[in-house]
Structure 1
Amino acid sequence: MSFGDPNNPYGQQQGQQPGYGYPQAPPVQQPYGGGYPAGPTEMPGITKAARIFLYVIVACQLAVAALYGYTISEFDKAAADLNGTESEAFADLGKGVLGFLLVLSLVFAALGLALALKYANGANGVRVCSIVYGAFAIISGIFTIPIGLITLIVAILLIVFASKSATADWFKRPRH
């Protein structure tokens, strides 16, 4: 009776291995802690390129803002040549519109800079915001041709590179 009671349905039967008829598999060891696959440890080249594209768009927006500032300063000289109250009102309206566009360009540049700085340790929201930012940069580029042509091309590349799976893996990696 070394195998226990033969009438016990829960005891081990003679000649059988434990496991109830299923082959025993070696225990699976997870390569990473917690059973989650690890993401890339270094920023992929595509992601680095997307970050650089953000910096280029920021530089283009600053150049556009400088162009708006220069145009505002020249507006007074052009308005001085025109006489009349209607020309002054037109000049004031033009300066107001250009001032608004200047501030908008500076805010847009600041948002791009904030996104680019978050690429090192940001979550997936940074990637999604980069794609949306690229879409708005395309619209901005259309309205600010010739400098906007650079913005337009780089923004398209930003959207493509930020949408790649390697970039998604970078932003979805576990952080310890």
Structure 2
Amino acid sequence: MSFGDPNNPYGPPQGQPQQPAPGYGYPQQTPPQQPGYGYPAAPPLGQQAYGQPGYGGGYPGGPLTMPGNVKAARVMLFVIAGLQVIGAILFALSAFAISAAKNDEELQNDVDFQQLADYSSGALWAGTALVLAWGVFAIVLGAKFSSGGSGIRITTMVFAIITAILGIYPFIVVGLVHTVLAILVAVFVGKSDGAAWFNRSKYPAAHH
């Protein structure tokens, strides 16, 4: 029986070369491993553990560290808070001064002065509380820059706009520094890199 006989039913089909059997001088080729058969494919860029996009690095394109403009805006918020504290101290000292003047023997019989002093003292103490609260609010916003989201960004922009307006009127003289700082805060936070920072993924907590 010959494999060269074209009429041999046990020979290889015509037109197809005979393949050598494995183990006769030709090493057997191992097919490449397919993903999912013991060798999971590597996750795409920006995806890490637990299959969450941005786990350990944020969504693709999200900053890993706080941009310089955002850092500057946070420092300016703290400066505004410091100025608010100074303003609150000045308001409180003015209220103390008016209260001391009310007790002056020459002015105790002056009804008009006493009424004005009562009104001014009450307004000054109210102003002290408001100015101090505004400063505390600025500190809270600045502290939230590391972990806050888009809500903190919008709140900061609103805070800065209101501060800038109040710096123009009614406190145009003493509020000029507030106005300049507040405008810069609104601009820096409102820029594209500020939006990218506050809209980044929060897994895990972002670096300072």
**TM-score interval w.r.t. the shorter chain?**
0.7 to 0.9
Q: 1:91 aligns with which of 117, 122, 127?
A: 117
Spell out the pairing of 1:14-163 with structure 2 (5 A cutoff). Answer: 30-33=44-47, 34=52, 36-79=59-102, 80=104, 81-82=106-107, 83-142=109-168, 143-163=170-190
Structure 1: 5+ residue runs without aligned partners? Answer: 1-28
Q: CA RMSD in A?
A: 1.9
Structure 2 length as normaliser, TM-score? 0.66
Q: How far apart, CA to CA, are the structure 2 residues paired with 1:139 and 1:93?
A: 26
**1:14 aligned partner:** none
Question: Greater shift after overlay, 135-144 or 99-108?
Answer: 135-144
Counterpart amino acid of 2:133? V
Counterpart amino acid of 2:180? I
Counterpart amino acid of 2:164? I
Secondary structure of 1:147's aligned partner: coil
Q: How far apart, CA to CA, are the structure 1 residues paired with 2:199 and 2:141?
A: 16
Q: How far apart, CA to CA, are the structure 1 residues paired with 2:140 and 2:119?
A: 32
What's the CA shift for 1:86? 2.5
Counterpart amino acid of 1:126? I
Structure 2: 5+ residue runs without aligned partners? Answer: 1-42, 54-58, 204-208
Secondary structure of 1:99's aligned partner: helix
Deviations 1:71-124 (A, max 9, x none): 111112444353322321110111111111110001101111100000011111
* CA radius of gyration, larger in: 2
**Corresponding residue pairs, total:** 149
Deviations 1:57-83 (A, max 9, x none): 111111111110111111124443533
Q: How far apart, CA to CA, are the structure 1 residues paired with 2:44 and 2:124?
A: 59
Give percent identity, aligned residues only: 33
Q: How far apart, CA to CA, are the structure 1 residues paired with 2:173 and 2:90?
A: 11
More RCO (CA 8 Å, sep 6+):
1
Secondary structure of 2:175's aligned partner: helix
What's the CA shift for 1:158? 0.7
Q: How far apart, CA to CA, are the structure 2 residues paired with 1:116 and 1:105?
A: 17
Deviations 1:127-157 (A, max 9, x none): 1111011012113323334431111110111
Q: How far apart, CA to CA, are the structure 2 residues paired with 1:151 and 1:127?
A: 19
Which structure shows the higher helix fraction? 1
Counterpart amino acid of 1:97? A
Pair 1:147–1:59, CA change in 2 (3 A): farther
Q: How far apart, CA to CA, are the structure 1 residues paired with 2:66 and 2:124?
A: 39
